[in-house]
């Protein structure tokens, strides 16, 4: 019997690597040899012992949703029009919408009322329905393609915004991997963009990726700096890309100018949250939320990477083989890097 290695969260704070049988391929499924899988902020919440919203955690728990790989086997009933063959370089979407509920019938698959998930990129092989597979365009590496999932979520977020005025001012709060993707999306829309964070190495990455201004929130007053940079008008678009702290979204609202927009992207994951609603009222601020993504957003994300509008390679600061997944998560939890990637030997 053929086997593979799988990284499993045995309990909060502790991974194990096990040998498990190679997954069989169903008639309408595709098996992928995983090349790379990024560690997401939500993964780190689970590693720390928290339960991210919507997650059902039963130990030992298999994680990993930011992945790419190579098709290893194709089910006998996968239709020819899917165009999937052994050797194709692909990205899988782990969401399993029902295609039947009210929202699926509208094409709003990220709001499916009966959503299921396949999460298991920290393994050598994974199996997905063929409908969930997106082929990679030319010119994108497998490591870069592992950003399709987070960038797809960012794409979905920007679809919620009204088109900002060219030459307007954008502010991204948080220079982690997600914030750095938002930065590039705002730049692509013709905005001057400032990025705030407390970590100098992340702010330097923002500068290299095109930020017009960087604001070290540990050294200066962010509100005063944004007011200075905008001659008192504040930001046309604010992206709240730092989750876990309810003060961030209140700060984002306070830094939006009249008729500005605030994208609440980095979830606080706490209830209740207190915000200044009077600012929304008197400034006519548009506060919008964003949840998850669709397979179509994956396709857009890969095109943005292929076309160079969004650069993701500079975000990958550290790489660990699957066998060292414990070390990878411990390092990622320090926030000393930007994107930590777990890879499989021979997966490239």
Active site residue ranges: 42, 45
In angstroms, what is the C-alpha Rg of the chain? 20
**CA 288-113-121 angle, 5° bins:** 85
Which structure tokens are listed for 256? Answer: 């939006």
List, in order, residues 6 or more apart from 74 with CB less than 8 Å away: 25, 30, 31, 84, 85, 86, 130
- The whole-angstrom separation of Cα 33 and Cα 37 is 11
Helix (H/G/I), strand (E/B), else coil: 183? helix
Q: How many CA atoms lie within 13 A of 213 on its CB side?
A: 21
Alpha helix segments (H runs only) across the chain: 41-47, 102-105, 142-145, 148-159, 177-188, 200-208, 222-229, 246-254, 277-283, 295-307, 325-333
- The whole-angstrom separation of Cα 334 and Cα 339 is 12
- The whole-angstrom separation of Cα 79 and Cα 85 is 11
Helix (H/G/I), strand (E/B), else coil: 7? strand
How many CB atoms sit inside 10 A of residue 123's CB?
A: 25
How many CB atoms sit inside 10 A of residue 223's CB?
A: 12
C-beta of residue 264 within 8 angstroms of C-beta of residue 240: yes
Helix (H/G/I), strand (E/B), else coil: 139? coil
C-beta of residue 313 within 8 angstroms of C-beta of residue 184: no
Instruction: Give the DSSP letter string of 203-220.
Output: HHHHHHTT-SEEEETTTS
How many CB atoms sit inside 10 A of residue 177's CB?
A: 28
């Amino acid at each position: 019997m053929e086997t593979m290695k799988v990284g499993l969260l045995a309990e909060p704070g502790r991974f194990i690597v096990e040998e498990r049988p190679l997954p069989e391929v169903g008639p309408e499924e595709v098996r992928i040899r995983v090349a790379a899988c990024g560690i997401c902020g939500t993964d780190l919440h689970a590693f720390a012992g928290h339960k991210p919203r919507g997650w059902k955690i039963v130990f030992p728990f298999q994680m990993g949703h930011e992945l790419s790989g190579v098709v290893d086997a194709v089910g006998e009933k996968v239709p020819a029009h899917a165009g999937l063959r052994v050797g194709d370089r692909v990205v899988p979407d782990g969401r399993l919408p029902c295609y039947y509920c009210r929202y699926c019938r509208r094409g709003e698959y990220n709001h499916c009322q009966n959503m299921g998930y396949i999460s298991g990129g920290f393994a050598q092989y994974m199996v997905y329905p063929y409908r969930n597979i997106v082929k990679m365009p030319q010119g994108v590496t497998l490591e870069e393609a592992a950003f399709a999932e987070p960038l797809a979520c960012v794409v979905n977020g920007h679809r919620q915004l009204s088109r900002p005025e060219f030459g307007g001012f954008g502010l991204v709060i948080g220079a982690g991997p997600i914030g750095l993707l938002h930065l590039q999306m705002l730049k692509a829309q013709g905005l001057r963009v400032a990025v705030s964070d407390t970590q100098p190495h992340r702010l330097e990455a923002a500068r290299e990726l095109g930020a017009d201004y960087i604001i070290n929130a540990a050294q200066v007053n962010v509100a005063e700096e944004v007011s200075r940079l905008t001659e008192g008008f504040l930001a046309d678009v604010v992206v709240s890309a730092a989750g876990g702290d309810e003060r961030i979204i209140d700060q984002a609202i306070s830094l939006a100018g009249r008729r500005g927009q605030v994208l609440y992207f980095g979830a606080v994951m706490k209830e209740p949250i207190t915000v200044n609603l009077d600012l929304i009222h008197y400034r006519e601020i548009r506060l919008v939320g964003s949840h998850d993504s669709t397979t179509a957003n994956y396709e857009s994300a890969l095109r943005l990477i292929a076309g160079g509008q969004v650069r993701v390679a500079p975000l990958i600061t550290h790489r660990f083989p699957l066998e060292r997944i414990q070390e990878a998560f411990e390092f990622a939890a320090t926030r000393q890097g930007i994107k930590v990637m777990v890879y499989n030997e021979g997966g490239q």
